[in-house]
Amino acid sequence: MSGKPRLTYLNGRGRMEPVRWLLAAAGVEFEEVFLETREQYEKLIKGGSLMFQQVPLVEIDGMKMVQTRAILSYIAGKYNLYGKDLKERALIDMYVEGIADLMQMILMFPFSPPDAKEKNLNAIKEKATNRYFPVFEKVLKQHGQDFLVGNKLSWADVQLIEAILAVEEKIPAVLSGFPQLQAFKIKISNVPTIKKFLQPGSPRKPPPDERYVETVLKVFKV
């Protein structure tokens, strides 16, 4: 395998979207293969491409990588988005894990039963405004820099801007009490590679709709 990284997943955000974000932020073009049927998924499993019988699958540098966290940390390290030393990497890891906890709630929201959607939306708002966003507001205020770690763009910044925009889609005024994060959002959204990813026609996927949910249920039989 050579050339562009090859991403195999459904045609939607899910667990592949942070991978798309990170590659885009690094300025790396990639190819995508979209799973649409159960048969495609089973063929990947039988062919030995999926170590744990799960996607995302990213083919990069001669490897067939699975497990989102492993994929992301490899890309971050390869493209100098993972700090300059172990201490910076540890900070990035902590920030990324926290953001991932919030993103897990957003990831599962489209699959909420109708009678649970309001409750789950309120839970996202409560966790974002009381647990997760205050951490990053405080970090940015204390060190007075544009980025979360080392005053340069890192995986943590990319994951945070993805989370901010995802929460804002559901709760538009969620940043009203976070002036540092408002400034951060503007700053990171204007990083040239990220600005390009935010334009129409980029590989960034739209919010999950009913068709995406139906495809997930069909392919993975969950």
pLDDT the model gives residue 222 = 60
Give me the residues of the chain with pLDDT under 50, please.
Answer: 1
**58 vs 24: CA distance, rounded Å:** 14
Task: Provide the pLDDT for residue 85.
Answer: 96
Class of domain 86-191: mainly alpha
Quick check: 205 and 17 in contact, CB under 8 A? yes
* Number of helical H runs and strand E runs in the chain: 10, 4
Give the model's pLDDT for residue 3.
86
User: How far, in whole angstroms, is CA 204 from its chain's centroid?
Assistant: 10
| pTM, entire model | 0.95
- CB 94, CB 80: distance < 8 Å: no
Which letter, b or e, does each residue of 138-173 get, where b requires 16 or more Cβ atoms within 10 Å of its Cβ? ebbeeeeeebbbbeebbbbbbbbbbbbebbeeeeee
Q: What's the burial of 50, exposed, middle or buried (CB within 10 Å: 0-12/13-18/19+)? A: middle
Token representation of residue 168 = 């804002």
**Every domain of the chain and the residues it spans:** 6-79+198-211, 86-191
* CATH of the domain spanning 6-79+198-211, picked from 3.40.30.10, 3.40.605.10, 3.40.50.2020, 3.30.2270.10: 3.40.30.10
